[in-house]
Structure 1
């Protein structure tokens, strides 16, 4: 299992000074020059902004995606499992209707198959997203572990576990994150994302510094991987920090310097 961190100028500097030890940078897909810069410091892989469940993959730039995969040797092409309420206006966000749930699953699986037809199902990995009950923008079935497991099983793709997304979802649902994660298709785990979750007073945010609760969850997840209870992913990525206005304000050099080695020790680096 490799160890990666979201690319940022701060972590690039830490790596350059050899103050932290990682295997890779995790890079967004929207800046080829940034990826080239990252690769001068460490091998890098690309995280794509593809959503499945919107029926809009005809708009994807497949040539660019293929070029980025080849240029970085990124082994998997990731997709996000979504079911936005605006795309299913006739379905209640908390539906338990089997016919409606099947409609969501069919839409998502058809989109995954579009990607799989290009790259092979074995190279596609699907990530759990956040359900924010107060926003009403995401249908609840898409974050149901049984639905996610069915999608993974029917498409033959792998699973990308984002622990922060799971924690946030469970906080909004007032559910237990450990139980929730345990029900996900972890026998198909291919990639792992770990980062902190904090409240800004109005809503929960991820890509924040790790708290005690985040460390406890990360330790439990990695223990299950190390003891063979769950499949070992190809990479575990710390998703703290990044580039652009969304991430720059929450990218702190000292936090990275402290938390990268601590997570690395849990991963086994």
Structure 2
């Protein structure tokens, strides 16, 4: 009932009437959806700025895999509540289907890192704060039995000048079995340059492969948003990684932080630190 819709600060997720959300400018697009800035009008008349992710619909309606991915992302986000994870407010059951999410007004961390002059580069102390926030959020996702599979600065959003939120849960999967892994069932797009060797060779993802991606995301932060392995064809990236090649230390990255990234890039998943351990190391 619309009379019982929760306020955005409440713990419950809700169904939102189609007419209560109006979409504005396009913020970005992904594999199966487009994201607009929007305004959500609550039953009490109050308006809340939001981000609205709409399912991309073809001429014959939504594709089966895209609809499945969209609904999977909704079901994952419904159960997440963490200060550094983007919050889902609710779902609009219209045409198209729409997720109504918390708006991160300052955009992606990647866009901020690559902003041209006169925008000043982010100070190292702030990047370290973001890394601590990210490690905490990823430890939380791991505790919920989830693997993100798409950790990169493009999927970290700035909720405020000193707060990041992990976003884009389209590739998130539950970790199954005693080995705590998710193995891809067939060819699907993955972010090659961010992936661990076992993900590239066997399609295997785990909390340890997310830790590998955390190391690449750290490298991105200190490289001012450069693309990892730029110019290297995807089929050669795995060969280089298995030959023990690693991304070079960015000039503004301290040797201590770079050694932490190297630990994240240990060849064997069991040798990589956990996110809770990374949180402690970054605190030090």
TM-score using structure 2 length: 0.29
TM-score, normalised by the number of residues in structure 1: 0.30
Bigger relative contact order, structure 1 or 2 (CA pairs below 8 A, ≥6 apart): 1
The structure whose Rg is larger is 2
User: Which structure's residues are more often helix, by fraction?
Assistant: 1
